[in-house]
Amino acid sequence: MTVLDAGDPLAVAVTGAIRTGDVQALRKLLDAHPGLAVAGIERRGEAAGTRSLLHVATDWPGHFPAGPETIAVLVAAGADPDARFVGAHHETPLHWAASNDDVAALDALIAAGADIEAPGAVIGGGTPLADARGFGQWRAARRLLAHGARTTLQDAATLGLLDRVAALVEGGAEGTDPPDADDITSAFWGACHGGQQATARLLLEHGADLDWIGYDDMTPLDIAVEAGADDVAAWLRAQGGRTRGELTAPFLRSPGERGA
């Protein structure tokens, strides 16, 4: 695979064509430079690593003009829908589209043959659904489900798939063993992130830790508040749930009790 420096004139030109949706210019570049579709572009410094042109098409913030057409042109020219980022992680373009809630790009990649179950997400090394769920990209998560993505307990809890959660915690899903206490607590945190009170309630009944300080150093109450899930936050408060600040604040003695 040819690797171009991000500052190389050809890399700048093809990146610009992709990001602006200039499909005509992209076609001309691909015709003039055989093998360009499978080249990598290496960036140094911040966000260092080597990305494929399909990664460029799904890079943050996504939603580029003519995104699906750009993806189709690149794949037709030989780009691999399952190309891996080379660097701190190994995500595919589908992971990136899911992370950006870019449903149009997601659909185009799946239509081009991208593996919906590809591992390697920055969220626990999981699938594109793990990224969508972890970053709160709910449209992408729902679209991946519609395309047939499999779900873990964490996925199902965060997305409010109550029947699936119930089957998993009771050990009746596809002959699986019941999850352990840590899995249940992690899924409970996810349910609060997703604003899914019914699944959160079920998981709490199965022993979830109400005040677990989890991802991003937030408790279930913290993440519910951040996610704008006001009904879940109010319910957690009613159950005795606390924020990280409330759990970790030093005990303040009265003035008369303070030492020298």
Domains and CATH numbers, the chain: 1-125 (1.25.40.20), 151-248 (1.25.40.20)
pLDDT in tens, 72-124: 999 999 999 999 999 999 999 999 999 999 999 999 999 999 999 999 999 99
The reported pTM is 0.91
Contact 123, 136 (CB under 8 A): no
pLDDT in tens, 146-202: 999 999 999 999 999 999 999 999 875 566 778 999 999 999 999 999 999 999 999
Q: Is the pLDDT of residue 254 over 50?
A: no
Evaluated on CA atoms 174, 131, 68, 11, the torsion sign reads: negative
